[in-house]
Structure 1
Amino acid sequence: MKPEKLKGYLRMAQSATEAFRDTQEIAKKEATQRVQNKRDNNPFNTAGCLGEIQVAVIIIKILEKCPVFSLGNVRHDILSEVLSGKITIQKVARKDSRHNKHASYYYILREFEDLLYNLRPRMKRHFDFLDSFYVNLRPRFTLKDSQEERTRQELFQCFQRYSDLFCKTDSTELMKNKNLKISIHIHKGRQFLESRKADTHSGILDCLSNNTSGDVMQEIVLQYDFILSKAPERSVREMVNFIYANVVLSCVKPESQHLRPYQTLIDLLFQVLKGQIPYGERLALHFIAVALLWPKQIMSQPESQKLGSYASQMRISYRNEMKSVYNGKLPVVHFFLGKKPGYTGLVSLREIMWCVRPEEDVDSLGTNGKIWKHERVNELLCRVTGEVQRKFILADTRNAGLKIEVSAMYKSQLYGKEQGSKVSFFIGFSMKGPLAFDID
């Protein structure tokens, strides 16, 4: 690629990136206006995020053809470092044995430093946001949307290019240094988790619906186990993700020998709940806390008595984080409350769907209530009682005096029910909080 071509392409890419950022800002302003109009069910416009990701992929393809970055694995790793903002173009130039020959390329690249150094962080931010958007929210009137499916397929293709560049490091030489071996293994483990989108709770939950194999889930658990046991510091995110990974593994491969004992998971959960919780981790932590700690038997731990507080904090975090994007959407229910103790106390939506005959229209079953009449579904799920309180239900638990606020998934099911009247229902766990289904 000639220098003048490189400059022209990067100039166009910068213009396109700025245009897509403007598009996303407009979408945010539109979303704020929609929240005030209860009749507006138009979903959040994600075109700006997707567009910026697509342009970033094109930039990567362009730079891979630039002589500065196109000479084998070492140069590939240097490109990854530059686009991650970890190494400057000036430093690359100083260490380049062909610096004089490549001088015109370095001169052009320095013109676009801001675009290049922020490329990976912005791609990652958009991938994480869109994963959270698509995994935790669904169309209001159907389980699947054709436009959404096409967008997710395009995102998958873009993420493959991202993963090829940023989640694969040639560490052969580094591994020869014994002092670095543990650090390199931890780094490679984190790269593996990111390549499987298992470095976020949304990505781990998505493994329930994207047919991730039991062997892959097992490897995810093992990588987290290694990182948490060897890393100098254990982050709240990695501890919470380790809990999610075990829960999902219990759903896809319950017989796994690498599934951590349920009580070990609960002990880790209590440990995290007692510590300082970063703002960005609260929604994920309180969701899994409510799902795992909902009393199916009498529980004496003080943390379990705070379940109502965790549910309340989850609703607040959900509104703060998702308010601008949940218009025209419903929260995805990832698990239902089961009858049995331990891991089997959480029943995934996938398992519920296995109980439904293939010829039935799954999209309509949730709204017309047929799915709750299946004998197998009733065998799996725990029916809870509660008391109607205006717009919500105060659910009973096995712990005397502990009642938890639960919203109706479909508000119409509360119409005509008097204040204080007793009802029974199934509980689904979503990021919005616990939801009541089949209210009777």
Structure 2
Amino acid sequence: MPGPAALATVPFPTYLVQTVQFDQNHYRCETHKQLCSGFVVCHNVFKTLFCFHRQFFSFSFVICSLNYFCCVLGFVVFTFLALLNTYVAESEISLSLAEEFLGMKMIHWREDSVLDRMKPYSNFLIVHKVEDWGGYKEIRILHPAIASACLEELERSFSLKVSDITMEVLHCDLFFSVGVAKHRLSIQQMVIERQRSKDERGLFSSLIDKVHSQQGRQTVQEIFVKASSRFEKSASIPQALARYLYINECDFPEALKWAEKAKNIKENPYTFDTIGQVHKKQLKSNNREKQETSRNPEDLNTNIKIAQNAIRAFQSAQKLVFTEDDPEDKAAADESGDFPRKSYNVNGCVGVLEIAFIVFEILCRLPFFKEKDPMKKKYFQSYLQKVIPITSVHKDDNDINNRYVEIIKEHEQFLLGLKTEVKETFDLLDCYFTYIKANNSEFDSKNRWTVSGFFKDFVNLFCTATDEMRKERPSNPNLNLKIDIEERRLILEVKHADTFTGILQHLDKPAEEIEEITECYAFLQQKQQFFNKKQTKETINYIMSKIVLYLLKPKSKHVKRLNYLSDLLLKTLTDVGLGYPFPDPYYLALLLFWPSHTQENQEIVTYVKAIRRSSYKRFSMLRNRSTVAHLYLGKEEGLNRLVSKPQLDENFKDMRRDTLAQLWRNGNIFKTQAIIKRLHRVVGTIEQGEVFANYRKLKIPVRPALIAGTRSGCSTEKVSFYLGFAIDGPLAYDIQYEN
């Protein structure tokens, strides 16, 4: 909750302006006078009660036994309100709960009797009716700034800290009785909700930050533990405590205990992620502390075990994101985790990469794998690429190295699978960032930047053998072809073009890069007879690279004619059939075989069904998420009718990037003249809510890019739209009804 200074800008009821002045010095003075007029009455009694509380009894018990001290009971209610109204926006206490706390009967009392009981600080209070939650009357402090100033005065005059009041609120059974759900939510929110400023999100709630700065870990943990006992079914409280312990205190065993408790209450991406974050922070801490000094093999053993646990947790988190229908809706609506609700997406994958590269860094510091020594780095690469066993790595024969080898053998399955795990994670993230409509969140942007950095590290670690391969040519003439093939594949990996997704990303990169890529694929195509099996994936990537090259540099000498590419694709489709595990060949079929005024392929409907089926099986991340088109249907013929998004963006060079992105997101980009002149408008129908593109007798199913673009109803209506090609099938943009 912002402090009084920030809240001074909030509109203040006009009828209170004469009573409360917002000049800071005068305001504090007036507040102090009015508070003291009530506080002095019960000051001695109150201090005595707190003395009892600290020594023998709970504060709530003493208060209940002395309920004839009306001023004290009213004072306690006022402190509760000051706390809640300071740290939770629009919080209050129901009038009925206040009456019960004050020991009042529900009948024979006037509406304002609670205010009478709470004099003389009732001047700070207001009672009004709330229509939500079934309708009831509430009592609260007039303004959050007043509540905040009251808390300051309580601490200054009576040494009553926010932690004292918080614990008493948590001890008060009335707040947790049946029928006061909103009060429980307010208390939970006060403890766990992280506040967001303009530039960043706080690590913890404002309340916890305040208690931590005043009293430190013990008091903070007491609050969390008590809150956890009050909210037994909430995973967010132990999750927040786990975060506090691993971030502020570096107490990883205790943090892990609470993270596991949160996961046992509720298995969702956020609770699994917190477990992963605890392990990651511990691994980083160990790695930092013993970076150069440790020669203890047992540290390696410990760190590998931590890394394995971390990767398992992140993988579990990511699996839940990709397999649940809508994981965000099932998670508690709070802001206690490392990521806000509805923003988790691929953070589990990023966590896997972070852990893997910490492990690579640890291994590179071993005496026989030191990265700075070219020969030892070669051993490191060869071992992790399963070229040589650890026993073949040259090393000094001593007890330390022998123990290192034993530990590496013990964890060999994990270590030898790590490079493959990293490569598969890169591929998955590529698909996510390429095929799914970006939500433009700061977390997605940060993840893109992080993944890009890791890929550079990956290239430096594992893709540096080209020069060494060339040196081997004279001494190994019989290996020349094998070296040539591996060299091409290495180039493709370095240029992020060894996958279909990576090639699509070259639509907005320099044409020279895709030229080199097509040369590599052309070479691999020519040498297929030297492989033991058909290189279907490389053939598909070869066709896609030729299409991208044509769009970027149509006069390149490496460009192939449409007929050549179509024939090669038909042969590939015959080989793979309709059950290929990747949607890539069917995507190419949409690009090359989509009907035109002069020709139509009767199989196009079959390919649309195949791409939908294949993408659904392959990319669980696409479920319940909007995909984007990278290529659109233009007005020309042949390959010229394919128009890429970067080509369309060229028409808006002078527009701000965020403005252009918003036009694409809401579909208004298709209202601009530049797009209207470039793209072909397809004629179709909507039948029973399904959209079809019509070409003579062909009815091709397409999906609306925006759900709001179609009307509900059972009738058949004629429409027109622009067509985009996404990895899960054709998309209809800017649907217009004929009538």
Same fold (TM over 0.5): yes
* Contact 1:128 1:200 survives alignment (8 Å): yes
- Matched with 2:359 is 59
- Matched with 2:582 is 282
Deviation at 1:404, TM superposition (A): 0.6
- Which moved further from structure 2: 81-90 or 5-14? 5-14
SS in 2 for 1:258: coil
For the residues of structure 1 that align with 2:305 and 2:580, how far apart are their CA atoms? 30
Structure 2 residue 608 is the aligned partner of structure 1 residue 317: no
Deviation at 1:241, TM superposition (A): 0.6
Structure 2 residue 570 is the aligned partner of structure 1 residue 270: yes
Q: Could you tell me which of 230, 236, 243 is aligned with 2:543?
A: 243
* Contact 1:214 1:252 survives alignment (8 Å): yes
- Matched with 1:22 is 313
For the residues of structure 2 that align with 1:216 and 1:110, how far apart are their CA atoms? 41
One-letter code of the match for 1:257?
K
CA 48–180 in structure 1, closer or farther in 2 if over 3 Å, else same? same
- Which moved further from structure 2: 308-317 or 171-180? 171-180
- Matched with 1:390 is 688
Deviation at 1:219, TM superposition (A): 0.4
CA 67–39 in structure 1, closer or farther in 2 if over 3 Å, else same? closer
One-letter code of the match for 1:184?
I
Structure 2 residue 492 is the aligned partner of structure 1 residue 200: no
Deviation at 1:413, TM superposition (A): 2.0
- Which moved further from structure 2: 104-113 or 304-313? 104-113
- Matched with 1:213 is 510
Deviation at 1:376, TM superposition (A): 2.6
Structure 2 residue 122 is the aligned partner of structure 1 residue 122: no
* Contact 1:371 1:377 survives alignment (8 Å): yes
One-letter code of the match for 2:391?
Q
TM-score by length of 1: 0.88
Deviation at 1:7, TM superposition (A): 3.8
Structure 2 residue 437 is the aligned partner of structure 1 residue 157: no
- Matched with 2:60 is none
Structure 2 residue 725 is the aligned partner of structure 1 residue 426: no
Q: Deviations over 1:230-250 (max 9, x none)?
A: 242341110111111112222
* Contact 1:337 1:427 survives alignment (8 Å): yes
* Contact 1:337 1:346 survives alignment (8 Å): yes
- Matched with 1:83 is 384
Higher relative contact order (CA 8 A, sep 6+): 1
CA 10–193 in structure 1, closer or farther in 2 if over 3 Å, else same? farther
> What are the within-5 Å matches in structure 2 for residues 17-416 of structure 1?
17-29=308-320, 31-35=322-326, 42=342, 45-70=345-370, 72-92=373-393, 96=394, 98-99=396-397, 102-139=401-438, 142=439, 144-169=440-465, 170-176=468-474, 177-208=476-507, 211-231=508-528, 232-233=530-531, 234-276=534-576, 281-299=581-599, 304-324=601-621, 326-327=623-624, 329-356=625-652, 358-359=654-655, 361-366=659-664, 368-397=666-695, 400-415=696-711
Deviation at 1:272, TM superposition (A): 0.5
* Contact 1:131 1:202 survives alignment (8 Å): yes
* Contact 1:3 1:105 survives alignment (8 Å): no
SS in 1 for 2:509: coil
Give the number of the structure whose alpha-carbon radius of gyration is greater. 2
- Which moved further from structure 2: 2-11 or 340-349? 2-11
CA 279–193 in structure 1, closer or farther in 2 if over 3 Å, else same? farther
Deviation at 1:82, TM superposition (A): 1.3
* Contact 1:333 1:428 survives alignment (8 Å): yes
One-letter code of the match for 1:298?
T
Q: Deviations over 1:214-271 (max 9, x none)?
A: 1111100110001111242341110111111112222222332222222221111111
* Contact 2:581 2:614 survives alignment (8 Å): no
SS in 2 for 1:387: strand
- Matched with 2:61 is none
One-letter code of the match for 1:394?
F
CA 264–244 in structure 1, closer or farther in 2 if over 3 Å, else same? same
For the residues of structure 2 that align with 1:394 and 1:383, how far apart are their CA atoms? 13
One-letter code of the match for 2:451?
L
SS in 2 for 1:68: coil
Q: Which structure 2 segments of 5+ residues have no match?
A: 1-291, 332-340
CA 68–392 in structure 1, closer or farther in 2 if over 3 Å, else same? same
Deviation at 1:89, TM superposition (A): 1.0
Q: Deviations over 1:157-214 (max 9, x none)?
A: 1111111222222224531222111110110100111111111111111222xx4211
For the residues of structure 1 that align with 2:579 and 2:415, how far apart are their CA atoms? 29
SS in 2 for 1:223: helix
One-letter code of the match for 1:258?
H
Deviation at 1:418, TM superposition (A): 6.1
* Contact 1:3 1:104 survives alignment (8 Å): no
One-letter code of the match for 1:17?
Q
For the residues of structure 2 that align with 1:37 and 1:23, how far apart are their CA atoms? 17
Deviation at 1:45, TM superposition (A): 3.5
Q: Which structure 1 segments of 5+ residues have no match?
A: none
Aligned length: 426
* Contact 2:616 2:622 survives alignment (8 Å): no
Give the share of equivalent positions with the same residue, in percent: 27
One-letter code of the match for 2:640?
T
* Contact 2:579 2:610 survives alignment (8 Å): no
Deviation at 1:417, TM superposition (A): 6.8
* Contact 1:28 1:324 survives alignment (8 Å): no
For the residues of structure 2 that align with 1:416 and 1:104, how far apart are their CA atoms? 69
One-letter code of the match for 1:179?
N
For the residues of structure 1 that align with 2:516 and 2:581, how far apart are their CA atoms? 23
CA 279–394 in structure 1, closer or farther in 2 if over 3 Å, else same? closer
TM-score by length of 2: 0.54
Q: Deviations over 1:126-146 (max 9, x none)?
A: 11111111111023xx5x332
CA 364–2 in structure 1, closer or farther in 2 if over 3 Å, else same? closer
Question: How large is the Cα RMSD of the aligned pairs?
Answer: 2.6
* Contact 2:368 2:395 survives alignment (8 Å): no
One-letter code of the match for 1:8?
D
For the residues of structure 2 that align with 1:122 and 1:64, how far apart are their CA atoms? 18
For the residues of structure 1 that align with 2:415 and 2:498, how far apart are their CA atoms? 24
* Contact 1:56 1:119 survives alignment (8 Å): yes
SS in 2 for 1:396: strand
Deviation at 1:433, TM superposition (A): 0.8
Deviation at 1:31, TM superposition (A): 4.5
SS in 1 for 2:496: coil
Deviation at 1:57, TM superposition (A): 1.4
Q: Deviations over 1:281-320 (max 9, x none)?
A: 53111112112210124337xxx32110110111112222
* Contact 1:237 1:281 survives alignment (8 Å): no
* Contact 2:318 2:349 survives alignment (8 Å): no
